[in-house]
């Protein structure tokens, strides 16, 4: 029901906690935060229990105030119980105005967990949290950039890409050689509707946390785009239709296109059935690429030849 439960002890609604919650919502996360969820007359304990039970992760904003409150201890123990029973990472600790010895005195278990700090700033903090909660979204640096450029055409207002912080550092000093060749092909396929330069795209791959997954997504987009245009005999000189096809694929890839009928009403260049076909085509290409990319090349060729 919720992606995140935020446990904190601040009563100031303009604190970093409120700013963090707002920023995470701009990413599209479903956040349980008392100001968002509690209404006058609600049972505090019942609402907290519902939020705890219905959230995938729990952010614990550890502060001096947190150590002094009773309900925060209840929230922490509930999250600890889930984490221990599921043997999976659920608790995401964030330090605010405290030191390691403060956490160690309060909870040796939390002191042993890698934590983020509000000192890094709200944008970077939200980015780091997204790397754990929604890595498929935050890893797509190239797709985020393309949303910025195509927003006037795609009208994907839900994404609010201008608000998305993108980490600038290069994570990978080297990339596989085939990236250079295959990336050039992808850029050429999409070149007449975008200004993608393969050197810039390679740089974006080097910044991605999981460049392999991002690379596979771009391959699925390019394959779906060019095969749909070919099979439906789209006029190759009609840049508006081709740009709309590409915008739809970007939106579908990130989950921004939630209602095809609504999209078709706002983008009547193609019939509703054609958008469904485009959606299916992308899903098939994505599944095919993901299936065979997980094996060695020798074994992959063997599997393909067996089906011929």
Task: Provide the annotated active-site residues.
Answer: 75
Phi and psi at 263, nearest 5°, equal -60, -45
> How far is residue 237's CA from residue 266's CA, in Å, rounded to a whole number?
22
**Cα 83-165-209 angle, rounded to 5 deg:** 60
Helices (H) and strands (E) counted in the chain, each on its own, are: 17, 5
CB 275 within 8 A of CB 260: yes
Indicate the pairing of strand 55-62 with strand 31-32: unpaired
CB 226 within 8 A of CB 281: no
* The 2-7 sheet, strands edge to edge: 31-32, 2-7, 55-62, 91-95, 116-117
Region at 107 (left for phi over 0; alpha for psi -120 to 50; beta for the rest): beta
Three-state DSSP state, 283 = helix
> How far is residue 131's CA from residue 210's CA, in Å, rounded to a whole number?
10
Q: Half-sphere exposure (CA, 13 Å, Cβ side) for 279?
A: 19
With tokens 């065979």, the residue in question is 292
Q: Half-sphere exposure (CA, 13 Å, Cβ side) for 134?
A: 18
> How far is residue 113's CA from residue 107's CA, in Å, rounded to a whole number?
10
CB 282 within 8 A of CB 249: yes
């Amino acid at each position: 029901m919720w992606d995140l439960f935020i446990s904190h002890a601040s009563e100031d609604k303009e604190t970093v906690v409120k700013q963090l919650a707002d920023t995470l919502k701009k990413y599209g996360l479903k956040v349980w935060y008392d100001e968002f969820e509690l209404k006058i007359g609600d049972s505090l304990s019942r609402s907290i229990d519902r939020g705890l039970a219905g959230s995938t992760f729990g952010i614990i904003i550890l502060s001096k105030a947190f150590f002094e409150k009773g309900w925060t201890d209840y929230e922490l123990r509930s999250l600890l119980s889930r984490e221990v029973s599921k043997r999976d990472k659920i608790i995401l600790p964030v330090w605010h105005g405290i030191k390691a010895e403060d956490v160690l005195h309060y909870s040796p278990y939390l002191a042993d967990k890698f934590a983020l700090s509000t000192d890094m700033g709200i944008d970077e903090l939200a980015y780091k949290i997204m790397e754990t909660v929604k890595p498929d979204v935050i890893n797509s640096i190239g797709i985020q950039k393309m949303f910025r450029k195509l927003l006037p055409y795609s009208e994907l207002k839900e994404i609010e890409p201008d608000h998305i912080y993108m980490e600038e550092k290069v994570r990978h000093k080297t990339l596989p050689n085939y990236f250079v060749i295959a990336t050039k092909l992808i850029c050429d396929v999409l070149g007449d509707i975008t200004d993608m330069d393969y050197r810039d795209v390679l740089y974006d791959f080097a910044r991605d946390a999981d460049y392999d997954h991002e690379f596979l997504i771009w391959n699925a987009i390019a394959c779906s785009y060019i095969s749909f245009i070919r099979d439906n005999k789209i006029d190759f000189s009609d840049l508006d239709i081709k740009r709309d096809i590409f915008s739809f694929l970007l939106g579908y890839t990130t989950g921004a296109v939630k209602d095809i009928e609504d999209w078709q009403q706002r983008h009547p260049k193609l019939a509703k059935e054609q958008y469904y076909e485009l959606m299916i085509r992308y899903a098939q290409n994505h599944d095919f690429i993901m299936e065979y990319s997980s094996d060695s090349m020798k074994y992959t060729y063997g599997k393909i030849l067996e089906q011929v």
